[in-house]
Structure 1
């Protein structure tokens, strides 16, 4: 496995692979590689000649400096896991490589409307940080295909819109969320939870299942379902921080034409904020 930190070296390696007509897959990450990432990597490995995994803790998508300084960094362990899973190239640029003129002077890639609803309300500026760094990675690597987890579902919808709007010739693939035995979605943030908190956090998935059941089996009232779900979360030790039921494609209110609903939930346990997603077939 090649480990690359500099843009020029990355460019030179990619030129060789392109001359050989190699198909290239990209899995963008912020490191702290867990089984959720490895599921993406496993699928990507089967569907490409060359697999690149980027590891970059992107400062532009964090609300404050404390959050980014607390983000778990496990670079040595990440390297071993990627090598074991037959990744061809690990791209680990420094901040000054990706933002040579600083964050305040960086051109922003912004997907309107979608970036300012739901999670965008709770995390101002987050999604434009995501779309800016992903567009830079896409321009640098020019993958044929890129893989993202569905847990960050709004992010996935936004990236798909960006790819269409910016004419990137890249296929975007969303991979279903990997969960532990209690149903908790795997996340880098889980490392902050103790054993008791991990058990409590599993109620997030249980509440989503409750919301889905209500939506499918009962003449539903979205407002009432969300209200009841918030009560259940609080009773189980979680602080609701954003629950929504919306159209899977548009992230807007459900209509009679909606084929699938997206249940999006966010809740805090202590100082840790967790998010999750569930798809519900309506038609």
Structure 2
């Protein structure tokens, strides 16, 4: 494993990779957990060389407090990655290495994907995501980039970004890894108390219940069911629940047999914002 902190030296190293060797890429914001590691393992199994970036991107935060409190554990992250077998590069840049003099996001039109769910509650978030992912893909020039399905809306946005900018990379979505209690693995989980960690399982339990009842109940009934479950658990504050079309991410009002649907939840455990989703049909 080799660590680079500057894009110029990493690009120079990548330029020596054989033409037919495949490069995999796993962009992260650090505070790595088993979910991240599963992405890296998938990448190592499918490519000759894998680049993992660790960078907390300021332009995708619409809340400065959230940015300041986002967990940063670079030494632990590197220790986890050192245990993996395969040719691995870690890119650990400072903000100035990626943004130069202007720490700002490019404005994107993702065909409406950016206006749903997270886009409604985190204004400008996906402009920041698009900006940093575009920068990183252009630096690393991978054959395949790996993203977790926990951030399913982000995954769809990145696929759209690649199409818009005609970037020669395959975007691979990977399944959500969960804790023993069902909570989706997330860097933000490090900020939860032991009590909050256990209480947050209501998110997973509710999504499971929605999936089980999706064929027998209307969307209106399912929305009411979720609202009731969170009223019964006052320590978790529901920000939104949506049943949406997987492709367009538009909120579904009624079911269409030819469409695929997914349930999305965002909720707060104290100050910690958690998201999760689950396919329904």
TM category (shorter chain) comes to over 0.9
- 1:261 is aligned to 261
- 1:272 is aligned to 272
Whether contact under 8 Å (1:119, 1:242) holds in the other structure is no
Whether contact under 8 Å (1:111, 1:131) holds in the other structure is no
Deviation track 1:97-122 (CA, whole Å, cap 9, x = no partner) reads 11102224x54444241111111001
Whether contact under 8 Å (1:109, 1:135) holds in the other structure is no
Distance across 1 between alignment mates of 2:261 and 2:35: 23
Gaps of 5+ in 1: none
Distance across 2 between alignment mates of 1:89 and 1:53: 6
Offset, 1:67:
1.4
Return closer, same or farther for 1:3/1:110 CA change in 2, 3 Å cut-off: farther
Distance across 1 between alignment mates of 2:15 and 2:112: 37
TM-score, scaled relative to structure 1:
0.94
- 1:159 is aligned to 158
Q: Is residue 3 from structure 1 mapped to residue 9 from structure 2 by the alignment?
A: no
Q: Is residue 239 from structure 1 mapped to residue 237 from structure 2 by the alignment?
A: yes
Deviation track 1:39-91 (CA, whole Å, cap 9, x = no partner) reads 11111110000011000000000113221111111001101111211351000
Q: Is residue 222 from structure 1 mapped to residue 219 from structure 2 by the alignment?
A: yes
Offset, 1:244:
0.4
Offset, 1:259:
3.5
Deviation track 1:106-165 (CA, whole Å, cap 9, x = no partner) reads 544442411111110011111110111001111111100011110111111111111122
- 1:36 is aligned to 35
Gaps of 5+ in 2: none
- 1:68 is aligned to 67
Q: Secondary structure at the match of 1:44?
A: helix
Q: Secondary structure at the match of 1:242?
A: strand
Distance across 1 between alignment mates of 2:144 and 2:111: 24
Deviation track 1:15-48 (CA, whole Å, cap 9, x = no partner) reads 101x443200000000001001011111111000
Offset, 1:14:
1.1
Distance across 1 between alignment mates of 2:238 and 2:63: 21
Q: Is residue 100 from structure 1 mapped to residue 100 from structure 2 by the alignment?
A: yes
Whether contact under 8 Å (1:25, 1:48) holds in the other structure is yes
Distance across 2 between alignment mates of 1:194 and 1:14: 41
Offset, 1:4:
0.5
Offset, 1:258:
3.6
Q: Is residue 183 from structure 1 mapped to residue 182 from structure 2 by the alignment?
A: yes
Whether contact under 8 Å (2:219, 2:255) holds in the other structure is no
RMSD: 1.4
Whether contact under 8 Å (1:110, 1:131) holds in the other structure is no
Deviation track 1:202-222 (CA, whole Å, cap 9, x = no partner) reads 110000011112212x1x321
Whether contact under 8 Å (1:111, 1:128) holds in the other structure is no
Distance across 2 between alignment mates of 1:110 and 1:188: 28
